[in-house]
Amino acid sequence: MSHQVLMPALSPTMEEGTLAKWLVAEGDAVKTGDVIAEIETDKATMEVEAVDDGKLGKILVPEGSEGVKVNTPIAVLLEDGEDESAIAAAEAKAPEPEPAPEPKPAEAKPQAEPAAQQAKPEAAATPRPKAEIAPDPDVPPGTDYVELTVREALRDAMAEEMRTDPDVFLIGEEVAQYHGAYKVSQGLLEEFGEKRVLDTPITEYGFAGIGVGAAFAGLKPIVEFMTWNFAMQAIDHIVNSAAKTHYMSGGTMHCPIVFRGPNGAASRVAAQHSQDYSAWYTHVPGLKVIAPFDAADAKGLLKAAIRDPNPVICLENEILYGHKSPVPQLDDWVLPIGRARILRPGNDVTLASYARGLTYALDAADTLAGEGIEAEVIDLRSLRPLDLETVLGSLAKTHRLVVVEESWPVCSVGSELCARAAQEGFDDLDAPPTLVAGADVPMPYAANLEKLALPSAEKVVAAAKAVAYRS
Amino acid sequence: MSTEGHGEKPIPRFLSQDQDDASPMPADTSNGEAVGEGLAQEIADKVITKQAHESELDAYRAMLLIRRFEEKAGQLYGMGHIGGFCHLYIGQEAIVTGMRQVMEDGDQIITAYRDHGHMLSSGMEPKYVMAELTGRSHGYAKGKGGSMHMFSVERDFYGGHGIVGTPAPLGTGIAFANHYRDNGRICVTFFGEGAANQGQVYESFNIASLWKLPVVYVIENNRYAMGTAVERGSANAHHLYNRGSAFGIPGEQADGMNIHAVRAAGKRAMQHTRSGAGPYIIEMLTYRYRGHSMSDPAKYRTREEVQDMREHHDPIDLLGKHLVETGEATEADLKSIDKEIRALVGEAADFALQDPEPDPDELYTDVLVS
């Protein structure tokens, strides 16, 4: 029986891709394992193999098509003896775009193509109208913008700093020849050479310590962790060697180093690969911690981090890597570490968040606006130092605070912010400061459970209504 | 270059004019016997190759300075003037002194927490080291680091690290910076035989060998990782010098109680590494006379074992005998050196006891570079 070839998901976070090339033509016979097409994701060009024997009946998506969603039928494969009449039948049963699975454990989920890969539906949030984002006061009026992904913005930040300072170098697993496991360092090896872009063995404790030693000796390393989950093996050097030495030396030896990489949950990679470390590093005096949300944050904050004479932790997010947003076209776009930004002004409730938490907060703000509640959304940008002033200033206006984060809720950045708001903004509060965080469990693998373990716009809306005493 | 300061008036970088004004230094000569500021640094400078090539008398002086300093530190600890952890180097003096003699100006040193000897042999002033031990304002870390955490970038001394094994990657990183800058320097990286079992040491060996980094690893095997004898904690315990062989790093064992053996091995190591051939490992067989730290009664070994090392293998006695036998010094000369050094250490102790504690405002300084 004929069947459809679907656009495959080629990474845990892939939502769509470009069908770059068909390597077979209609009418060609294909065997299981034959490479039939090339697909470009935002990270790489991947080959698609046939999973059945047969004849390529019809190409449904021509080569060069961009933004082809995962699970879209891209071709029809005919079995031996079938003719073209079978094509129409196959087309007819093309599935509707798969709806986001509801968080109901009992629901059976249609599975297409190789069962292992499934795009994360909630990550495919519709692009937000830009008009809703308030202009960044750090950008001079009249500045032009360029649309970049967060991934590109991070790469540009490193490249610009490496161009101006020969002491800056990048070290980590797969950062050079592979261009980064998440393709953040694309082009850096080619531009700066193997002296300044160095692949390491998979030994985090060792190369983190080597980075710290090089920083003690005056270089400015950027140490990439493939993800922050693996930095647990190196945390001794981050905390004991990097963060404490300036103090322990009475200010005579410092450690100008950036540790960066993706943090928190990606998609369906389970507990050991889905932890948010924001609270861990924000806890430590001697470190600075940044958590960029959009491309402008990513570029401006990472450039500041590389120039900073202190150890800086840059908590990126894999889901956000592919998100595009405008970045000011300035010769030197650098953001101050320790200052938050009001992304969307409002008078009724303050939604303070960082990194991917802001995707929920901004969606919630849209919904709330439809119900007559104007939320003020704050992008914290930095977690240490934390811009309490901006949050308390907003609280003085809205009298209500909801903090949104993907982290575990116990002893988190969000719980800290709630505590500080209670202590220092008590008189301004008309409702208890409220935290919408990840569930207090190791991250589950199952799609529905993972969704339940993360915040959502709905949960933020509910929390905002609760503090606004609206039902 | 940070080495330009060698031989100049010894002032730790943080002792700026302002700070001197704000917090006057106590008198240097409280016992009436002025030895003169800078003597200790002169002693250290003389064991650094370019100052005087392998002078036995200079080495003797440098080792004795460490010995007397550590004895005084032990005494002050017993009197309650030094707190926390205090790890004495007594018995191991020949290692850092001999290595210093084969190092060049600009080569760096990094070690763990048994570090006072490494500081003194780097030319750091005893009185400021001692003031750090007593937690006072003119200590090398303004009293914030203590025994295990002192640094002098001017003197190419990179600490002073309290976590076992960490000097290995940190020193490899300093060597990486040398390599990156192509400055011809070598980072001599010290750690104990207990640390030699740590995973991060092998991660460092791998990268150092892979990238041919200019690092010489010195394993100071004093036989006991705290209370655990090397045979109880290390497989193939008598061949730690061989621990880099899987990574293609040459290694050798040397008698760390004999400064001539230390220098001979050190010279081979430095030549190998200076030639661009990458890392080298020396396992120095040594012994600490005192416990792991001041609070360790060292019940895990016999009194006889310690006594035997003291009587028959003491590095300072051995070198003293050699000096007298070769006619380079008389017994009277050695006595006079001892007197001079005792006075110096006495002054350091007096200074460290009179120096004020850090200003309470210092609690919140130096957390971040502003």
Q: Which ipTM value was assigned to this complex? A: 0.87
pLDDT attached to residue B37: 61
Nearest CA in chain A to B364: A247
**370 residues of chain B, pLDDT tens digit each:** 333 333 333 333 332 333 333 333 333 333 434 445 677 777 777 766 555 556 899 999 999 999 999 999 999 999 999 999 999 999 999 999 999 999 999 999 999 999 999 999 999 999 999 999 999 999 999 999 999 999 999 999 999 999 999 999 999 999 999 999 999 999 999 999 999 999 999 999 999 999 999 999 999 999 999 999 999 999 999 999 999 999 999 999 999 999 999 999 999 999 999 999 999 999 999 999 998 888 888 889 999 999 999 999 999 999 999 999 999 999 999 999 999 999 999 999 999 999 999 999 999 999 999 8
**Distance between A244 CA and the closest CA of chain B, angstroms:** 8
Tokens of B323: 């000096």
CA of A87, closest CA in chain B: separation in Å?
57
Exposure pattern of A410-443 as b/e (b: 16+ CB <10 Å)? eebbbbbbbeebeeebeebbebebbbbbbeeeeb
Contact (Cβ atoms closer than 8 angstroms) between residue B47 and residue B102: no
Using a CB–CB cutoff of 8 Å, tell me whether A215 touches chain B. Answer: yes
Q: Where are the beta strands (DSSP E) in chain B?
A: 108-111, 157-160, 187-192, 215-221, 224-225, 228-229, 251-255, 280-285
Q: Which pTM value belongs to this model?
A: 0.87
Q: Tokens for A299?
A: 């570029």
CA A210-A214-A219 angle, 5° bins: 145
Helix (H, G, I), strand (E, B) or coil at B55: coil
A113: left (phi over 0), alpha (psi -120 to 50) or beta: left
Among the partner-chain residues A205, A240, A252, the one whose CB lies closest to the CB of B153 is A252
Interchain CB contact of A169 with B (< 8 Å): yes
Answer yes or no: do B141 and A250 touch at CB < 8 A: yes
Q: Residue A385: is the preceding peptide bond cis (ω within 30°)?
A: yes
Q: Are B40 and B126 in contact (CB under 8 A)?
A: yes
Distance of alpha carbon B236 from alpha carbon B247, whole angstroms: 17
Given CB atoms, is B106 within the 8 Å cutoff of chain A?
no
Structure tokens at B7: 């031989």
pLDDT, tens digit, 9 for 90 and up, residues A446-471: 999 999 999 999 999 999 999 999 97
- The answer to whether A209 contacts B162, with C-beta atoms less than 8 Å apart, is no
Distance CA B138, CA B142 (A): 5
Please check whether residue A212 touches B, CB under 8 A: yes
Phi, psi of B357 (to 5 degrees): -65, 160
CA distance, residue A209 to nearest chain B CA (Å): 5
Q: Which residues of A are catalytic?
A: 204, 273
Is there a contact between A205 and B203 if contact means CB atoms under 8 Å apart?
yes
Percent of chain A with pLDDT over 90: 77
Secondary element (H or E) of residue A221: strand A220-224
Is the pLDDT reported for residue A56 higher than 70? Answer: yes
Rounded distance between C-alpha atoms, residue B357 and residue A169, angstroms: 40
